[in-house]
Amino acid sequence: MITVSKEDYLKAILGAESEGETVISARLADWLKVSPPAVTMAVRRLKKDGLVRVQSDGNVRLTAAGRRIAHRLALRHHLIERMLSELFGMEWWKVHDEAERLEHAVSPDFEGKLLAKLGRGSACPHGNLSEMESPESRRRRGLVLLSDAHAGSTYTVSGIYERDRHLLEFLEARGIRPGAKLRLLERNYDQTLALSTAAGNVSLGRAAAERVWVSAAAQRTAR
């Protein structure tokens, strides 16, 4: 039986993989805000169910069966975020937490209705695709992290890390949201970025800039 807890673990493993992280028990404990012993027990159950395998170095990997479940839950979460934003007008920085609460309550029938209503292929309110892209796949699409952007160039915000509500509110207050235009004015000695956005001239630290993907195409267009 696939419980809510098991679904959460499988989706967390998929999410950590998509962020390019090595998935070990300590990382899962951090992602899910649970104790390391709880992670150890959960991984043991998932392994027994044939949903994960644990490599000799402690890296936790999804099996084909586990990956199917994780992708299904990720798609459901994606559809709920879009529903809340596109149909109900909820602010983009609020929808992730709300979708986390709703995703386990959605029936396959309702999920099918959402898919028919919203369609496939569109990004969520944070600018992210439903496939939980890896950093490599984003770069193949021509995206770069804001932390790696070039001073003096203009960009369009493409996607933002969505699991940190405080970060999303912080960025929103500074005019950094999906689809927004920004110009990187300069890189400061303390590694902060001086940016021009719709909110004015703002400063952004590297930790936040590493959570924002921007479109390199906007830079070329600006030229």
- According to the model, what pLDDT value does residue 186 have? 96
Which class does domain 137-222 fall in?
A: mainly beta
Looking at residue 18, what is its pLDDT? 86
Statement: 4-62 belongs to CATH 1.10.10.10: yes
Instruction: Reduce the secondary structure of 42-88 to three states and give it as a string.
Output: HHHHHHHCCCEEECCCCCEEECHHHHHHHHHHHHHHHHHHHHHHHHC
pLDDT one digit per residue (tens) for the chain, 223 residues = 788 999 999 999 999 888 888 899 888 998 898 999 999 999 999 999 999 999 999 999 999 999 999 999 999 999 999 999 999 999 999 999 999 999 999 999 999 999 999 998 899 999 998 777 889 999 999 999 999 999 999 999 999 999 999 999 999 999 999 999 999 999 999 999 999 999 999 999 999 999 999 997 444 443 4
Q: Which two tokens stand for residue 14?
A: 């998929």
**Amino acid identity, position 98:** E
State how far the Cα of 35 lies from the Cα of 168, in Å rounded to an integer: 26
Four-CA torsion 167, 145, 12, 10, nearest 10 degrees: 150
Query: Which residue bears the tokens 């990997």?
Result: 61
pLDDT given for residue 22 in this prediction: 84
Q: Which two tokens stand for residue 124?
A: 């969520």
**pLDDT mean across residues, the chain:** 92
CA-based nearest residue to 36, from 24, 18, 47: 24
> Which pLDDT value is given to residue 17?
86
From 164, 175, 178, 173, select the one nearest 207 (Cα to Cα).
164
Region of 119 (left: φ > 0; alpha: ψ -120 to 50; beta: rest) is: left
pTM: 0.89
pLDDT number for residue 222: 38
Contacts with 190 (C-beta within 8 Å, 6 or more apart), sequence order = none
Pick the CATH number of 67-118 from 1.10.60.10, 3.90.950.20, 1.20.5.510, 3.30.420.10: 1.10.60.10
Tens of pLDDT, residues 183-203: 999 999 999 999 999 999 999
Q: Where in the chain are the domains?
A: 4-62, 67-118, 137-222
pLDDT of residue 223: 40
Give the separation between CA 2 and CA 49, rounded to whole angstroms: 9
For residues 205 and 192, the answer to whether their CB atoms sit within 8 Å is: yes
Q: Residue 220's pLDDT is what?
A: 43
